[in-house]
Chain A
Amino acid sequence: MPASDQNSVELEEKVEELNNKLKTGGFTGSYDIANSTLRLLRKVIAGSKWNNARELMDRVKSVGKLIVASQRSETSVGNMVRRVLKLIREEYARCRGNPEGGDVQSESLHRMFTDNAKTEDYSVPILNVDFKAVVIEAVNEILIELENSADNIAMQALEHIHSDEVIMTAGRSRTVEKFLKQAARKRRFQVIVVECAPFYHGQELAWSLADAQIDTTVITDSAVFAIMSRVNKVIIGTHSVMANGGLKSINGSHTIALAAKYHSVPMIVCASMFKLSPVYLCSSDQAAFNKFVSPHSVLDFADEEGMPHLTSTDC
């Protein structure tokens, strides 16, 4: 049908666009990436042709694989895809109802052992309800939760930040910024921001906090240990949380954590749900661990001595 062709072409375009933006680094943070991915998946669910949950899940998986491959170090993409797949399974189970008549508790270990004869392949089409609408409704819920995630965390600020405290933070995390600004409405405290070379996002955060009338100091990365003894709490954001509870975060976080441990300063990490990832990164050689960009911010291209690896020019 012409309409579906047009749809699929449009979808392909959107996927291409997202891929390109990921590759060229057009996003400013993992929140934006998660948001765009979720909206794209919603479009895919609404726009593609599928008959049952299995086909839908395959479609979502294939699109997800494409996007994940564009930028492996962005784990929030994979997280969002997995969440959508999970909610499809849940909605499927709920709509089918439970044939045994028990409570729909979906997969628990107990059920896996007792019901080993029955393997769910999600291929039965749901006829009594409009499955598409149900799934899209659920995706919208996740979207709302995503958009409110930073605010939800900020609401707990007053429990953690007390008056006349010295808080250290690093880089520019949207979540932490909201967190601190929320607390500043009721409490007076002081913030020390580590600027975090080579991008110096910490300086931008400092400007923003100063505009909100928070007492802010900017320090260099090397001064972290020296200042740590005067800090009451360290609050940082993170890029993603690994399966073992480890963080993939802005450079310098490890140093800050070690200094905090030495001085027994409590450290709080503010992370939304979409940052929790089942990925387990144990070695810096893994593809998803680092994102390597051009050296132009560190080395001067014009300077010949900065090119160490070239063999001598008389060849």
Chain B
Amino acid sequence: MNKDAQIRAAINQKLIETRERECLKELLRAKLIECGWKDQLKAHCKEVIKEKGLEHITVDALVAEITPKGRVDSSMNFNTCLDSCSYHYNQALVPDSVKKELLQRIRTFLDQHASL
């Protein structure tokens, strides 16, 4: 497992070094807006906020509500919260085409840098 972790870390590093990560992030952002994912999430956010009250909204609450239906409590560390999230909700909203394209690009990148 360590090796896997190492490998993953190495890959991440490579992604960042070559700025591919940023590229992928921008691409994903654009595609999500285009497919309406952001609007859907925004509508969901509005409901959450109306429910919780405008004054008492926190980032944690939002993240908790939005990202998944996970077990979230504000005491959790932010990162752990993300880790423990099941990503089904928001990931389900992402269209398949977007997902496929991104995976494609990642695979390409990995193949390119396989020998490295």
Query: A and B, one complex?
Result: no
A interface residues, Cβ below 8 angstroms from B: none
